[in-house]
Homo-oligomer: A and B are copies of this chain.
């Protein structure tokens, strides 16, 4: 019965993979930069074997792109790809909201509202401190997705698609710049879910995400490209 809760039930490649994901998402490893296997291996004090396995996983997450015999680069997310992802989010999170309205327990619905109360406080008193700007929105969507009950959908959105979105948010300092508007939309969605109105929740979620997509498009054009 090895260690009760062993310090590494997981393998080096797995932990390294997680570490690299957050490093890329947070920008510690610059987007677009080339990845040198010897350098990275030394930086994380691991061998190239586990590193290559971890990179294979990141490739599957579309966080790095590999060219055989030429090496791996951190992806650069352009407007094009971001818009594509938001269109997919629109379809999938709309579906998640509908399912959440059908499946959420009373306790979860209350917790969802309380989460938004917390967000409101943070918006007021700190004018959007970084963390809540970035991860708070994610928390809200995350809970709804979780409540969908569709495990494959959960994996798809939370473990395979959201990294790129978080990556974008860490790069664009103040993304929406309108946390109050987003909060109001969140409240509407939460209300629809609270009432068990799945159709309406789906509609509101789709509109919410499509609005966010348009903001991104506007922001990109304003930024020159």
Residues of A within 8 A of B (CB): 9-11, 13-14, 49, 52-53, 56-57, 59-62, 68-69, 81, 84-85, 87-88, 91-92, 94-95, 150-153, 155-156
Distance to closest chain B CB from A17 (angstroms): 9
B152 touches A81 (CB 8 A): yes
Q: How far is the CA of A49 from the CA of B56 in the complex (A)?
A: 12
- Interface hub of A56, A59, A81, A153 (most chain B Cβ within 10 A): A56
Contacting residue for A95 out of B13, B57, B91, B150, CB 8 A = B91
For the complex formed by this chain, how many copies does it contain in all?
2
Which residues of B are found within 8 Å of A81, using beta-carbon distances? Answer: 151-152
Residues of B within 8 Å of A150, CB to CB, are: 84, 87-88
Interface of A is mostly: helix
A40 to B196, CA, bound (A): 51
Tell which of B13, B57, B88 touches A156, judged by Cβ atoms closer than 8 Å.
Answer: B88
Within 8 Å by CB of A88, from B57, B85, B153, lies B153
A91 to B95, CA, bound (A): 7
Contacts of A60 in B (CB 8 A): 56-57, 60-61
Q: Is the CB of B53 within 8 A of A152?
A: no
| A225 to B: closest C-beta gap in Å | 19
Known: A11-B68, A68-B10, A68-B11. A153 touches B56 (CB 8 A): no
Q: Tell me, in angstroms, the Cα distance from A163 to B204 when the chains sit together.
A: 33
Q: How far is the CB of A118 from chain B (nearest CB, A)?
A: 30
Contact between A84 and B10, CB atoms less than 8 A apart: no
- Return the chain B residue nearest A52 by Cβ: B53
Query: In the complex, what residues of B have CB within 8 A of residue A62's CB?
Result: 152, 155
Q: Which B residues are CB-close (under 8 A) to A9?
A: 68
For the complex, give the distance between the alpha carbons of A61 and B52 in Å: 17
Q: How far is it, in angstroms, between the C-alpha of A94 and the C-alpha of B95 when the chains are bound? A: 12
User: Known contacts A56-B56, A60-B60: does B49 contact A84 (CB below 8 Å)?
Assistant: no
Do the beta carbons of B152 and A84 come within 8 Å of each other?
Answer: yes
Please, which residues of chain B bring their CB within 8 A of the CB of A61? 60
Tell me whether B84 and A151 are in contact (CB under 8 A): yes
> Considering residues A52, A61, A91, which has the most beta carbons from chain B within 10 angstroms of its beta carbon?
A91
